[in-house]
Amino acid sequence: MSRRRMVIIRFYRGRLLLGTAEAEVDEPLVDVAEKAGVEIPTNCTSGNCGTCLVRLVEGRVDYPDPLPPGLDEFLVEDGGVLACCMEPIGACDIDVIPPL
């Protein structure tokens, strides 16, 4: 039997801590945010529209290759993450204010 490793994800708006929740393996950030009581808007839920764009402040996420249409290299350089389809790799701090 394998054990799932839980990690802590903290959600901020700027410097204000909005909520914290544990993420399971293969759980997208938008689902973790919901558990933390933080609403991240979504539309397509597949990475195409960019509605769920947030900023990764600390930690790592699993970026798909190639990047989905809602994200580009410039946004990634600024910490851009699509919460609907990207999963944390370890503990993360997420700012719900997108890097625009």
Domains of the chain, start order: 7-95 (3.10.20.30)
Whose CA is closest to 60, among 74, 76, 72, 39?
76
> Residue 88: what are its φ and ψ, rounded to 5°?
-70, 150
H helices of the chain, in order, are 29-35, 73-77
Q: Spell out where 1-100 has E strands.
A: 7-13, 16-23, 53-58, 80-82, 92-95
Residue 96 pLDDT level (bands cut at 50, 70, 90): very high
Distance of alpha carbon 4 from alpha carbon 10, whole angstroms: 19
Q: Tell me the whole-structure pTM to 2 decimals.
A: 0.91
With a pLDDT cut of 90, the percent of the chain lying above it is 85
- Look at residue 6 in the predicted model and tell me its pLDDT: 78
- Look at residue 49 in the predicted model and tell me its pLDDT: 94
